[in-house]
Chains A and B, each alone.
Chain A
Amino acid sequence: MNAIKNFIEEAGWPRILIAAFLVLLFVAAPFVNVRLDASLSDTLVRFGMNGVMVLAMVPMIQSGCGLNFGLPLGIIAGLLGAVTSVELGVQGFAGVCTAMGIALPIAIIFGWGYGLLLNKVKGDEMMIATYVGFSSVAIMCIMWLVLPYSSPNMVWGYAGQGLRTTISVEEFWQNAIGGIGSFNIGEFFYFPTGMFVFFFLCCGLMALFMRTRTGTAMTTVGSNPEYARASGVNIDHMRTLSVIISTVLGALGIIIYQQSFGFIQLYMGPFYMAFPAVAAILIGGASVKKASIVNVIVGTILFQGILTMTPSVINSMIQTDMSEVIRIIVSNGMILYALTRVTKVK
C-alpha cells in the first residue's frame, strides 16, 4: 500500500491520469480498427522528432528564466541552417550536418541577444519570451521573402524569388539521421533508431553538463539567485548561457524534426512550436523552476502519445474530427495547470 502511495506521490496525479488515458487509447485502438503497431510506431517517431525541442526547455528552467516560450527564435536559427543547406544542395547525412553546422553559430548569436534581453526583465521572462518568439516569427516572414535564396527547389515558381511556405527535403536529407540503423517489424512498425540515438545523446550531454561546476552554478542561480551571487557566481552570465544552450537545442531540434517530417515549414510554421514543447515538459512533471531529463522523456512520450492516439482512436469512435480540439485542450490546459500550480512546501 505504501509503495503505491509513494509511487503516486513521486509520479504525481496528472501523469498517472494521462498515462492511464493513453493506455486506454491503446487498448481501445484495435476495437475501432486502428492498428496497434502502426500507432505505436507513430508515437515513437513523433517522440524522436520532438524530444530535442522539449529538452531545450531544461537549461532555462534550471537557471530560473522560466519556460522558453521564445523557442521560435531557436527554431528560426534551425530553419536558416536547413534552408541554406538545401540551397547549397548538400545531400544525405552531410546535408543534415551542414544544416546543423550553419544553424549553430546563428543560434548562439540569437541566444546571446535573447539572453541579454531576458536579463533586463527578471521576473517577467516568460511573458517577454512569448513576444520575442512571436515577433521574431513576424520579422522572418519578411526575411524569407527578401533573403537571396535562389534554389528552384525552394523559391516561388511564378516569381523566381522568395521562399515557399513549405519546402520538401525529400531529395536532400529526409531521414538522414532517423534512417541510420532503422528497422521495420512487419508491415506497419518502423523504428527510427538514429533519431533515438541522437536524442539520448543530447540528453546524456545535458545530464553531464548539469553535473559540472557551471551546470551546478546554473541550477543554483535558478534556485536562489541571491545565494548564488553571494557565492561569487555571475548570475547574468549563467542566465545568458542557459538561454544560448536552449536556443541551440531549439535549432538542432527543428532540424531533427524536419529530416523526419520531410518538409521545412517557413513563415508562420514556428509560431506555435513552443507550446507543444512547453506542454510536454510540464506533463512530464517539471515545474516552472525545476526540470530534469526524466521529465523530458516521460513528458514527451505522454504528450506525443496523446497527440498521436486521440485523432485516430477518438475520431474512429465518434465519427467526427475532434483531434485538434483535444490537442488544444490538452496542451494549453497543461500549461495553465503548471503555471498556476503552487509548489507545495512539506
Chain B
Amino acid sequence: METTPLLRVEGVGKAYYSNVVLKNITFSLEEGRILGVVGENGAGKSTLMNILFGMSVIEKTGGYTGSIFVNGEEVHFRRPKDALNAGIGMVHQEFSLIPGFTVTENILLNRESLNYTVAEEVFGSCLRTLNRPAMTTRAESAIKKLNVDLDGETLIAELPVGHKQFTEIAREIANSSTKILVLDEPTAVLTESEADILLASMRRLADAGIAIIFISHRLNEVLTICDDIVVLRDGEVVLNTPTAQTSVRGMAAAMVGRKVESIAPENNEDTRLIGETLLEVDHLWVDMPGETVRNVNLAIRQGEIFGIGGLAGQGKLGIANGIMGLAPAGGTVRFDGKPLALNQPSAPLAAGISAVSEDRRGVGLLLEESIAWNIIFSAMQNQGKFLKPLAGGLVRVRDEAAICACAQRYIADLEIKCVNELQIVQELSGGNQQKVCLAKAFETNPRLLFVAEPTRGIDVGAKKVVLDTLQRYNREFGMTIVMVSSELEELRSICDRIAITDRGRIAGILPASEPSENFGILMMGTAHEGAQTA
C-alpha cells in the first residue's frame, strides 16, 4: 500500500571517537506496522534510538553518518524537539514524568489547552490560564486509545509503575502529530497482564496508522506483536526479516552470534585438575539496586573458570557483590567447607576470596593515589604485607621499597603502560586501570577470584591481556576464577561452565562448548520452552 515508507534509515553509522558502535544500519518502517528491534546489551540499540531522536549526545560526539528519511524527505535532527516536530514520539526506559503533577497534566505538559486572559495583551501568551475541562477531555481520549483504566486526576507519585508507563505512552499519542512511536523496553517494568494490555493497545495504535518501533528483550513478545524484526549485534543489522520467517531460536542465534567460537576449543585441551567443590552457594539473595539476586544456588569447583552471564539487571553482578559483603545479602555460602559470613567485607578477604569490581572507578581504584598504593593496599590491610618494624618493633610502617618493587613486578608482568609505579591511577587509560585492579586482587593471593565485567570499556589489546592473564593465573597457580560478564562470547572463550541469570535466579548452567543460541534462549527467559540444562 505504500510507495514511500514512513521512516527509512539508510547506512547509518556512528562512532564515539575511535570506538565504532553502529555500522551501516539500514531498515525501513511503514505506516501502521510494528518493528521489533532486539539485541544484547551494547549491541547499539540505544545509540540508534538516540540518533533517531536527535539526542544531543550524538551531536556532541561528532554526529553520525548515513541518512534518515521521514516520509521520503531527508531529515537530520539536532535536538529532540526537531524529532518531535517531525512526528517521532519516544518513551524512554527511565520515566520522565513529574511526580507531583496529575496524569492529565503530565500527558499534556507544555501542550496544554489555554484560555484567553486580559493580562496576555500586556505580558504575552505566557499568562494564559489552563482550560481544565478541555485538557481532561484530550487526556481521556488519549487514555482511551490505549484502552487502559487510568484516572486523569491521580498524581503520578501515587501510580503503580505500570500505569506510569501508560502515562508516558499516552503523552506521546496525545500529540496528534505523532506518526512514529518508539518504545524502549516498555514491558520491562510491567506485570504479565499489564504487558498484555500494552501489547493489545500497541496493535490498536498500529491499526490507527501509527508506526511503532518496539525494543524489547522478551523475544516472545516481539514474536507475538511485531510485523518485522531487526536484530542488531555489535552495531550491525544481522537479521532483518518479517516475523513469520523467524523463531525465538533464530533470533537468539542471531543476537549472540558465534564470531569468537574458534577460540573456545583451545582451552579444552589442557590437563587441569578440576577438584572438589570450593564454593557452595545456597539460596543466596542480595539486595543490590538494579541487580537483585532472589534465589541463587551454585557450586563452584576448585580450579575451574566459572562464568556468570545474563542480561543487565538480572542479578549476575549481585552474586559477586553479595558474596563479597558489599551489598546486603542472605542465605548460606560455604567456602572450602566452612561457612562464610555475609555482609562483612573483611570475611571473604580473610578466607582467601578476592574480587575485581565491575565499578572500576567507583569501587576498584583509588583514582588520586599512585599505582603502587592501589596494588598493595588490600594485601597490606588484610595480610599485613609491606610493613616493616620500626623502633624495635614498636610500630610497623609502610615499606616503600618493597611496595615499589611489587608494583614494578606487576607493571612488567601485566604490561601496564605508565610512567612509573608512582603515577596517579587517574591518568591511566581504562585498560591499564583494569590491569591495576587485577594486580590488586592477585597480590592478595586469593584461592577464589571474582572478576566482574573485566573488559567493559577497554580496548581490544587490553582485553586480550586481561583475558590471557586470567587464564594464565588459573593454569599456573590453580586460582579458581568466577567471571561475571555481559559478553557471552568472552565468557565462552575462557570459561569451563557458564551460568546464566534471569530475574535473580540461575536460569541454567551449561558447558561453554554448548552452541551459543542455547545461552541466548536462557538469557531471554524462555528456558522452559526447550533449553536443556547441564
Q: Which of A216, A232, A289 interacts with B382 by CB under 8 Å?
A: A232
Residue A122 lies at the interface, judged by CB distance under 8 Å to chain B: no
B426 x A220 contact (CB < 8 A): no
In the complex the two chains form, is A220's CB within 8 Å of B366's CB?
A: yes
Q: When A208-B397, A211-B398 are in contact, do A232 and B349 touch as well, CB less than 8 Å?
A: yes
Q: Say if the beta carbon of B357 comes within 8 Å of chain A.
A: yes
| Bound Cα distance A276, B48 (Å) | 57
Does B369 belong to the interface (CB within 8 Å)? yes
Number of residues on chain A facing chain B (CB within 8 A): 21
Q: Which listed residue (A223, A224, A232, A346) contacts B381, Cβ 8 A?
A: A232
Say yes or no: is A202 at the interface (Cβ < 8 Å to chain B). no
- In the docked arrangement, what's the CA distance between A226 and B358, Å? 13
A212-B397, A231-B381, A232-B346 in contact; A224/B355 too (CB < 8 A)?
A: no
Interface residue count for B (Cβ, 8 Å)?
33
Within 222-249 of A, Cβ neighbours of B (below 8 Å) are at 223-224, 226-227, 229-234
Given known contacts A211-B398, A231-B349, A224 and B377 CB-to-CB distance under 8 angstroms: no
Closest residue of B by beta carbon distance from A343: B368
Q: Closest residue to A232 on the B side, CB-wise?
A: B346
**Bound complex: CA A290 to CA B424 (Å):** 14
Tally inter-chain residue pairs, CB-CB below 8 A: 75
**A76 CB to nearest B CB, Å:** 30
Which residues on B sit within 8 Å (CB–CB) of A226? 359, 362-363
B377–A232 CB distance below 8 A:
no
Asked, given contacts A211-B397, A213-B381, A224-B365, whether A230 binds B326 with beta carbons under 8 Å apart, the answer is: yes
Residue B367 CB within 8 A of the other chain: yes
- Return B497 CB to nearest CB of chain A, in Å: 26
Choose one: A211, A212, A213, A227; the contact of B366 (CB below 8 Å).
A227
Nearest CB to that of B384 among chain A residues? A213
Contact (Cβ within 8 A) B345 A216: no
A233 and B381 form a contact (CB under 8 A): yes
Q: Tell me whether B345 and A229 are in contact (CB under 8 A).
A: yes
**Is residue A345 within 8 Å, beta carbon to beta carbon, of the partner chain?**
yes
A102 located at the interface, meaning its Cβ lies under 8 Å from any Cβ of chain B in the complex: no
Residues of B contacting A208 in the complex (Cβ-Cβ under 8 angstroms): 390, 395, 397
In the complex, A217 has a CB within 8 A of chain B? yes
Residue-wise, chain B 365-391 has the 8 Å CB interface mask toward A (1 for contact) of 111110001000110111010010010
CB atoms of A230 and B345 under 8 A apart: yes
B364 within 8 A of partner (CB)? yes
User: In the complex, A220→B326 CA distance in Å?
Assistant: 17
| CB neighbours of B37 from chain A (8 A) | none
B395 touches A231 (CB 8 A): no
Question: What 0/1 readout, one digit per residue, does chain B (408-438) give for beta carbons within 8 Å of chain A?
Answer: 0000000000000000101100000000000
Is A230 a contact partner of B398 (Cβ separation < 8 A)? Answer: no
Cα of A289 to Cα of B369 in the assembled complex, Å: 12
Chain B residues, CB < 8 A from A230: 324, 326, 345, 355, 357, 363-364
Measured between beta carbons, the chain B residues less than 8 angstroms from A232 are: 345-346, 349-350, 378, 381-382
Query: Do A213 and B387 have beta carbons less than 8 Å apart?
Result: yes
Residue B396, interface by CB 8 Å? yes
Query: Quick check: B349 and A227 within 8 Å, CB to CB?
Result: no
The interface residues of chain A lying within 8 Å CB-to-CB of B355 are 230
Closest CB of chain B to A300's CB: distance in Å? 25
Give the shortest distance, in Å, between A123 (CB) and chain B (any CB): 15
Give the residues in chain A near B373, CB-CB below 8 Å: 216, 220
Tell me the smallest distance from the CB of A234 to a CB of chain B, in Å. 8
Are A223 and B427 touching (Cβ within 8 A)?
Answer: no
The answer to whether B368 touches A223, judged by C-beta atoms less than 8 angstroms apart, is yes
Contact for B369 among A212, A223, A234, CB less than 8 A:
A223
In chain B, what residue has the closest Cβ to A223?
A: B366
Q: Report B303 CB to chain A, min CB distance, Å.
A: 25
**With A and B bound together, what is the CA distance between A208 and B384 in angstroms?**
17
Give A287 Cβ to nearest chain B Cβ, in Å: 10
Which chain B positions have C-beta within 8 A of A234? 346
B426 & A345 in contact (Cβ 8 Å cutoff): yes
- If A223-B369, A230-B324, A232-B382 touch, does A216 touch B398 (CB 8 Å cutoff)? yes
B366, A224: Cβ atoms closer than 8 Å: yes
A234 to B382, CA, bound (A): 12
Kindly state the separation between the CA atoms of A217 and B366 in the bound complex, as whole angstroms: 12
Which residue among A229, A230, A234 has the maximum number of chain B CB atoms within 10 Å of its CB?
A230
- Chain B residue contacts of A231, Cβ below 8 A: 345, 349, 377-378, 381-382
B487 to A: closest C-beta gap in Å: 23
Closest to B348 in A: A232
Least CB distance, B275 to chain A, in whole angstroms: 26
Among B349, B373, B378, the most chain A Cβ lie within 10 Å of the Cβ of: B378
Bound CA span A223–B424, Å: 12
- Expressed in whole angstroms, the Cα–Cα distance for A172 and B217 within the complex equals 81
Residues of B close to A220: CB separation below 8 A = 366, 369, 373, 377
- One digit per residue, 1 when the CB lies within 8 angstroms of any chain A CB and 0 when it does not, for chain B 157-179 equals 00000000000000000000000
A120 → B minimal CB distance (Å): 19
Interface string of B134-164 (1 = CB under 8 A from A): 0000000000000000000000000000000
Distance of A216 Cα from B381 Cα, bound (Å): 9
List, in ascending order, chain B residues with CB within 8 A of A223's CB: 366-369
**How many Å from the CB of B494 to the closest CB on chain A?**
24
Please, how many angstroms separate the alpha-carbon atoms of A234 and B347 in the complex?
Answer: 12
Are A227's CB and B326's CB within 8 A?
Answer: no
CA distance A44 to B390 in the complex (A): 32
User: In the complex, are the beta carbons of A212 and B349 less than 8 A apart?
Assistant: no
Contact with B along A192-226 (1 / 0, CB 8 A): 00000000000000001001110011001001101
Whether A227 contacts B381 by the Cβ 8 Å rule is no
A residues in contact with B427, CB < 8 Å? 346
A230–B382 CA distance with the chains assembled, in angstroms: 11
Proximity bits, B243-256, A CB within 8 Å = 1, else 0: 00000000000000
In the assembled complex, the Cα of A70 lies from the Cα of B377 at a distance in Å of: 31
In the complex, A224 Cα to B426 Cα: how many Å?
13
Instruction: Please state if A227 and B397 are interface contacts (CB–CB under 8 Å).
Output: no
The reply to whether B363 and A227 contact each other, CB–CB distance below 8 Å, is yes
CB distance from A215 to the nearest CB of B (A): 8
Most buried by A among B359, B366, B390: B366
Q: How far is the CA of A42 from the CA of B320 in the complex (A)?
A: 61
From A211, A227, A233, A346, give the contact of B364 (CB < 8 A): A227
**Nearest A residue (CB) for B398:** A211
> Known: A227-B366, A232-B345. Contact between A213 and B357, CB under 8 A?
no
Alpha-carbon distance A226/B324, docked complex (angstroms): 13
Q: Once bound together, how far apart are the Cα atoms of A208 and B394, in whole Å?
A: 12
**A115–B382 Cα gap in the complex (Å)?**
24
Measured CB to CB, the nearest residue on chain B to A207 is: B397
Is A213 a contact partner of B380 (Cβ separation < 8 A)?
A: yes
* 8 Å CB interface, A301-346 against B: 345-346
CA A211 to CA B424, docked complex, whole Å: 18
Chain B residues contacting A233 (CB-CB under 8 Å) are: 346, 381
Tell me how far the C-beta of B324 lies from the nearest C-beta in chain A, rounded to whole angstroms.
7
In the complex, the 5 A-B pairs of residues with the closest C-beta atoms, listed nearest first: A232-B346, A211-B397, A231-B378, A232-B349, A226-B363
Residue ranges of A at the interface with B (Cβ–Cβ < 8 Å): 208, 211-213, 216-217, 220, 223-224, 226-227, 229-234, 289-290, 345-346
What are 29 A-B pairs at a CB distance below 8 A?
A211-B397, A212-B398, A213-B380, A213-B387, A216-B377, A216-B381, A216-B398, A223-B368, A223-B369, A224-B363, A224-B368, A226-B359, A226-B363, A227-B366, A227-B377, A230-B324, A230-B345, A231-B349, A231-B377, A231-B381, A231-B382, A232-B345, A232-B346, A232-B349, A232-B350, A233-B381, A345-B426, A346-B424, A346-B426
* A-B contact sample (18 more), CB < 8 A, given A224-B363, A224-B367, A231-B377: A211-B398, A212-B395, A213-B380, A213-B387, A216-B373, A216-B381, A220-B369, A220-B373, A223-B368, A224-B368, A226-B359, A226-B363, A230-B324, A230-B363, A230-B364, A233-B346, A346-B424, A346-B427
